[in-house]
Structure 1
């Protein structure tokens, strides 16, 4: 299985794309999942020739950008829709610029149980429309299993996938959020298997600390970090999950998402543990406690 580091892990760090690229190669990552904010900043502040040169270097090192992870308002009003579609097309252009064929978004910004029939149908129709636009450009639309969205329970995910009914849609299975919903992640995989396209890996010390992943805490430089722990240490049993994925050959790209302090140290430790778990040779395995 190929593992990627999420550039959002460095949202409070001063790290260039070249820094992350060199780190990824040194520690055994297959590449980088690029946060849309970072992608926009790089594309807006760099000479296009420099971006191409950097991507060529990435490719020469055997690495690539696995996905652009960003946000689009699927429930925009009809008045807002032209601007949202234009923004979506810019994201597709960014994906092409960074040589990736995936864009991650969320299915709305409210819990599925609060959706009226009209809101639900609108979200499905918009998801179908946006996915078609991306599909024409050979880009997958990847929807994340995430709380406070219409993709927040296994039932809502499955229902919306069936209603949207588009071949360009894939699911980003964030195992912690699946577990947060009350569903066993392995049981969820069997239901959404035809749509799986990507994984997010992160962990927490205790279920009572899941609020640490609320956006107001995650994006604040002064947010609470105690309780964010390694993949090996947390409440979610990743050893069981990874062994299942390998056994069933569900080898989709998996990105490590770290919202705590010292991201270089944590990502190095976690990817080494994952490689050890898979039986890959690694004489310098680091598992921090």
Structure 2
């Protein structure tokens, strides 16, 4: 497996520093949070995109994905969501990133209506994603936190360029253990986000292995299934400014994940 971290853990850090931090501690890749408050997002111009590609390549670090904020099951017309999806896929393609993350975000709508909208919107973007060599991944999050929830959307789409991002925290805290999640998501799985927190009720971020999230069980299930993709540490410093800085945890965090893998 390859190991990455999300820039959610290093909010606002200039991209050259992100790349150097990853390289210094042996991380294979970085997931870029694509929000307007970050250095790189769908509104960034061609020069900024090309510069990011050069800098990461120079450090030997892969841009794993673009973590977008499109809510594909959200209420309202399709066109604004289409525009968001189009922009995210084109950003990922320009960066050479294989993945785009999107959220469900159904809110209080009836589930059937929200899931039909999500499937329709993801099916719309799938041909563009295929043309540009990108996979759009629906994260197990908010209104659809478990594998069984995500599969209700992904099954009707039925396109290889639309898949799932397994956020281990959300499946686990909603009562779905890794041994149940993986078989359901396996046909769709793009990559896996891991994190550690105090408990299912207290989401204060902790160093990997120091909290309650069953990271080791997750990795064991992936290994047993022969899966050889990416693990990405999403340390939620952005939402918890009081948490220790990621820079001091980057080395031990990578060592912890590497220690779960065969040598």
TM-score category (smaller protein): 0.7 to 0.9
CA deviation digits over 1:41-70, x for unaligned, max 9?
436898745643442342243211000001
Q: Which residue of 2 aligns with 1:265?
A: 248
Q: Trace 1:119-130 onto structure 2 (pairs within 5 A).
A: 119-130=114-125
| Structure 1 counterpart of 2:7 | 7
| Equivalent residues of 1:3, 1:31 under 8 A apart | yes
- The reply on whether 1:134 has 2:129 as its aligned counterpart is yes
- 1:183-198 aligned within 5 A: 183-198=176-191
Deviation of 1:20 (Å) = 1.0
**Does structure 2 retain, via aligned residues, the 8 Å contact 1:108–1:123?**
no
Structure 2 equivalent of residue 218 of structure 1: none
Contact 2:163–2:188 under 8 Å retained in 1: yes
1:172 aligns with 2:168: no
Distance 1:108 1:50 in 2: 29
1:94 corresponds in structure 2 to 91
Using the size of structure 1 for normalisation, the TM-score is 0.79
| Cα distance between partner residues in 2 of 1:47 and 1:127 | 25
1:106 aligns with 2:128: no
After TM superposition, the structure 1 = structure 2 runs for residues 43-62 of structure 1, keeping only pairs within 5 Å, are 48-49=46-47, 51-62=49-60
Contact 1:67 1:104 in 2 (8 A): yes
- Could you tell me which residue of structure 1 aligns to residue 218 of structure 2? 241
Name the CA distance, whole Å, in 2 between partners of 1:105 and 1:168. 13
Shift of 1:22: 0.8
Q: Which moved more, 1:195-204 or 1:95-104?
A: 95-104
| Cα distance in 2 between the residues matched to 1:253 and 1:194 | 15
RMSD of Structure 2 on Structure 1 (CA): 2.5
Partner of 1:163: 156
Taking structure 1 as reference, are residues 97 and 154 closer, same or farther at Cα in structure 2, changes over 3 Å only?
closer
Q: Give the Cα separation in 2 of the matches to 1:44 and 1:243.
A: 36
Q: Tell which structure's C-alpha radius of gyration is larger.
A: 1
CA contact (8 A) 1:203 1:236 kept: yes
Match of 1:215 in 2: none
1:85-134 Cα deviation digits (max 9, x unpaired): 233222222112211121100123427xx524333322222222123332
Distance change (3 Å), C-alpha of 1:119 and 1:57 = closer
Distance in 1 separating the partners of 2:163 and 2:194 = 17
Pairwise CA distance, 1:157: 1.9
Q: Aligned-pair distance for 1:198?
A: 0.7
Which structure's relative contact order is higher, taking Cα pairs within 8 Å and 6+ residues apart? 2
Name stretches of at least 5 consecutive residues in structure 1 with no aligned partner.
213-226, 281-289
